[in-house]
Amino acid sequence: MLFGYARISTSSQNLDLQVDTLLKAGVDKKNIYKDISSVVKAHRKNLDVMLDKLQKDDIVVVWKMD
């Protein structure tokens, strides 16, 4: 199964652009997890939720690796 993860940490970043890209990559909307957090606030709640759902052979799609 495909999962997607999107995160922004500044107001100049665009979460919708990331989500649209994940949808175009074939990720179902219900399998896209998003976080809005600053660099200082490192905890990413929805990333943890997604990681807990992953099973063997699942694939995580991200927009960009920082």
- Supply the residues annotated as catalytic: 9
DSSP label at 1? -
Phi/psi-derived region of residue 17, left when phi > 0, alpha when psi is between -120 and 50, beta in every other case: alpha
In 3D, which of 55, 58, 21 has the Cα closest to residue 34?
21
